Amino acid sequence: MLVFIYDKTFEGLLTAVFDAYNRHTFPDTLIEEGEILPLFCEETHTVITDEAKSSRVWHGLEQKISASALSSLTVCWLSELPGIDLLLFNYIRKAIDAPKSIELNFGDPDVLQLAKIWKQINNERLRVIQFLRFQKTTDEIYFAPVEPIYNVLPLTLEHLKDRYAGQKWLIYDMKREYGYYYDMEEAREVRFEEKERSLLSAILDEKLLDKDELLFQQLWKTYFKSIAIKERINPRLHKQHLPVRFWKYLTEKQP
Amino acid sequence: MNANVLEKLKVLAESAKYDVSCASSGTSRSSKKGEIGSAAGWGICHSFAEDGRCIALLKIMLTNNCMYDCAYCINRRSNDIPRATLSVSELVDLTIEFYKRNYIEGLFLSSGVVRSPDYTMERLVRVIKDLRLVHRFNGYIHMKSIPGSSQELVNEAGMYADRLSVNIEIPNETSLKILAPDKDFQSVFSPMRYIQQGVLQSKEERRKFRHAPRFAPAGQSTQMIVGATADTDKDILRLSSALYQRPTMKRVYYSGFIPVNSYDNRLPALKQPPLVRENRLYQADWLLRFYEFKVDEIVNDAYPDLDLEVDPKLSWALRNPQHFPVDINRADYEMLLRVPGIGVKSAKLIVTSRRYGRLGSLQLKKIGVVMKKAQYFITCHELGIRTIQELTPQNVRDLLIRKPARKTDHRQLILQFED
């Protein structure tokens, strides 16, 4: 069994592809530095991430698959799923070896699998856009905590910057502990110190909120209750569309 | 903004909730400096009510006072319900503040008819004009066009709204006259025609001048109540199909009749709204819009009502077994769409993937074809399974509607308690 050891970055993965073609040997598995080697490991190769090598692979791929397929590779990388690196590696290898683009061959298990992962990530991105709820704070910043299953915050920025261009906002990924702050010019990545983090919770403390904020939350809750038709109540459908894991952060689902 | 709005919001949302439409798709607008918000062409649902319906827009009435007395409507004149009216500034504030918190995509504004259709329409137009011109609101606006309002007002509304709609409610005119004595088809179809004229005219102008204003860019929609009258599905679907022939009609909504005025004996007494029938009508509607079906293939004089046990596509396939089985690797896209268990997405995936090699049943399953249904209607390059030709339509039907019996484990000891 041949194992490639790399640094778990996307550039590292592309460099691994370069090395594999260079050595004419292809890995059975990819692991991060410091991870425990699998059993029956006969040979290891340590990939040293190299800008030049990775960009050569990237430019090579540009000749083989379309721009949208390329961007879907980077999107799938954000899924952080175990084994996504090997899947991407196999996909890239197939793309390079095939005489024409493989991106529409959904009969191929790797292509289909990657398409499904892309779909899942995109759905998660949409859910974040749908279900994030801003709370206006005393310093006029609209704050929204989220907790997506995939690392999709960077993918939502394009939409949010366009939609909320006229207000300062901050979205924060509570699980990965980073977020983006938009100051009406550009969105910058931010991280809170340990001390400040205690201030952050699903629903902010009343002291931190703008004076009208509670009224609007109350109005929205009232509206949410009134708009449902009692004769048609359907909890199963409700949960299917509005997954329970988002309820913690939804204003209308607070008691 | 004060707490008194809370009560008004409650009353007016209760009154507006029977309108089904909550779509926010069809218009893309990116934000400009100094304006509020944008519109996403693909539509975003920001929440889902406990009945499972999407909440994309702030669906609200300007007032629920109404001079009409329509039998099916909660806001009819003779009902004793709390009445309220929002002022323009309250409504505008609510919309913008909700929008800034990512609660909604925009506004769905309707109203009861006060004094005259034109008077009411004028007030509605004033609200959306205020939103667009004074507050530079860029989000989605869906406005109800009041039946019987004049062309000038519809034309003005189209300048500011993304979508305009007029509800038909009852699919034939005689029943409409009985249930809603103040309305007739003329009063519903003339605003529809004005909207269509406006959209087509603005399209023509935009061809000549790129910056000519857009008129209701997301077109129009309408709604019909299902189960309030004796109309068959054939009547309903023929009317929808005729409406979809018109260039601007984007959606026809079906609303299962909920007896809100149970004392009125012109209407049937139902225990439950006809939800299954409503669902079947939507499925048939999808067949008309995305699956290239003709209305007479779905319902006709021999089959005036949709089958409640199986979906309309399966029902069509069972009535027309001569078209099956379909060879997945050869059939054209239109035919693939007609196979029960294959939707638009899987049909497209099949067409693109089979260029690379023949597809087998395992790949079809992975692609997303519902093999439970599709297996009786297709062949692929593997050895044939039993198709509808060998099994006869009746047997296939029985196989597909049979509910799996509850599994009982015979090894499990059952204790029977005396009462």
Rounded Cα gap, residues B308 and B311, in angstroms: 7
Q: Is B374 helix (H, G, I), strand (E, B) or coil?
A: helix
Please report the sign of the dihedral spanned by the C-alpha atoms of residue B121, residue B124, residue B130, residue B135.
negative
- Residues in A closer than 8 angstroms to B17, CB to CB, are 226-229
User: Model confidence at A193, in pLDDT bands (50, 70, 90)?
Assistant: confident
Residue of B nearest to A215 (CA): B3
Residues of B in contact with A237 (CB under 8 A): 48, 51-52
Q: Which residues of B touch A166 (CB under 8 A)?
A: 31, 34-36
Q: How confident is the model at residue A151 (pLDDT cuts 50, 70, 90)?
A: very high
Find, in chain B, the residue whose alpha carbon is nearest to that of A214. B3
pLDDT in tens, B70-128: 888 999 998 999 999 999 999 999 999 999 999 999 999 999 999 999 999 999 999 99
Reported as type and span, the H/E element at residue B127 is: helix B117-129
Neighbours of A201 (CB within 10 A): 13
CB contact under 8 A, B258 and A216: no
- A196 to chain B, closest Cα gap in Å: 23
Predicted model pTM: 0.89
Contact (Cβ atoms closer than 8 angstroms) between residue B240 and residue B209: no
Q: What is the pLDDT of residue B184?
A: 87
Once rounded to an integer, what is the mean pLDDT over residues B270-275?
87
A105: closest chain B residue by CA: B353
**From B48, B275, B359, residue closest to A107, measured CB to CB:** B359
Interface test with A, best of B5, B14, B51 (most A CBs within 10 A): B51
pLDDT in tens, B337-350: 999 999 999 999 99
What ipTM score was computed for the predicted complex, to two decimals? 0.90
CATH for B7-298 is: 3.20.20.70
Centre a 10 Å sphere on the Cβ of residue A86 and count the other Cβ atoms it contains: 17
Tens digit of each residue's pLDDT (9 = 90 or more) over B373-405 = 999 999 887 766 788 888 889 999 998 888 767
CB–CB contact B101 A232 (8 Å):
no
Chain B positions touching A167 (Cβ under 8 A) are: 100
How far is residue B44's CA from residue B25's CA, in Å, rounded to a whole number?
A: 8
B282-308: average pLDDT: 94
CB B143 within 8 A of CB B162: no
The reply to whether residue A241 touches residue B354, judged by beta carbons under 8 angstroms, is no
User: Cβ of B258 and A231 within 8 Å?
Assistant: yes
